Amino acid sequence: MPENKADSRGAPGEGPASKQAVYNAAVRLFARKGFAATGMRELSREAGVNLATVNYFYGSKKGLLKVIIEDYFQDILAVLTENLAGDDAPDVKLRRNIAAVARYFSTHTDKMIIALTELPHDDPDITEFRAERFRRISGLLQSSLGDTAAHIPVSVIGPAMVGLAASRFLFMPVLQKALPPGSRALAGVDYPEMIAELFVNGINGLLAAGPGGKNGGGND
């Protein structure tokens, strides 16, 4: 009769194979069907483990979701930390950063979808550390983009960046169904570079138009 293991993290590369299988199956299913619509039995079946194994490793279904979202934020924070460092000009860093975020989304689409589509999930546990992470991210942007962030709030830049980078992957199922197969629109486009260029051009345009305009500046 083992004690509760709910506190152990379950990120990939840690713990026994079963634990990772549960994690991987959860990421896949939560992204495709949503957290609430995914049952524990389906999840354990997909992972090839016994039903009780899920709660044995993650304490509860909600605990599993929490681990995934925490994992996502840790990834994103690492991406931002890496790409916002250095002495380059703010717009260079911004371009590099948003491209990196978009690339991360393209390789970890499921995790991103979970973190994004479960945003309304206003469970106290999750809401709390999500806000905390957001504050750290904001601070990082604030200090790295001093010039830009002085005129456009990072609370605008941040979500805008994420929304822009994520939308294509969020819409992918719809796109694939709506467009004729083999459409040129879905291939041959370096999306990360494209939206990075778009975003930086857009921000620069805003700054040029009026740093003291009706949408006046303000660090949060």
Site residues, DNA (CB under 7 A): 1-3, 5, 15-19, 38-42, 49-57, 60-62
| Contacted by 18, from DNA, a second copy, none: CB < 5 to 8 Å by type | DNA
Q: Binding-site residue total for a second copy (CB under 8 A)? A: 73
182 binds a second copy (CB under 8 A): no
Closest CA to 48 of 85, 89, 19: 19
How near is the Cβ of 92 to DNA at its closest, in Å?
46
The 52-91 contact track toward a second copy, x by CB under 8 A, reads ----------------------------------------
Residue for token pair 């778009």: 198
How near is the Cβ of 113 to DNA at its closest, in Å?
18
Residue 102: C-alpha distances to residues 49, 53, 152, 168 (Å): 33, 34, 21, 10
116 binds a second copy (CB under 8 A): yes
Q: How far is CA 134 from the centre of its chain?
A: 11
For 188, counting Cβ atoms within 10 Å of its Cβ (0-12 exposed, 13-18 middle, 19+ buried), the class is exposed
Lookup: tokens for 46? 């997909």
How near is the Cβ of 18 to DNA at its closest, in Å?
3
Distance separating alpha carbons of residues 59 and 195, to the nearest angstrom: 40
Q: Which stretch binds a second copy (CB under 8 A): 50-58, 59-67, 87-95, 150-158?
A: 150-158
Q: Which is nearer to a second copy, 70 or 118 (CB)?
A: 118
How near is the Cβ of 145 to a second copy at its closest, in Å?
14
- Contacting residue, 132, 143, 146, 147, with a second copy by CB under 8 A: 132
- Contacting residue, 46, 91, 164, 211, with a second copy by CB under 8 A: 164
How near is the Cβ of 121 to DNA at its closest, in Å?
13
> Do 70 and 14 meet the contact criterion of CB atoms below 8 Å apart?
no
Distance separating alpha carbons of residues 122 and 199, to the nearest angstrom: 30
Distance separating alpha carbons of residues 36 and 61, to the nearest angstrom: 10
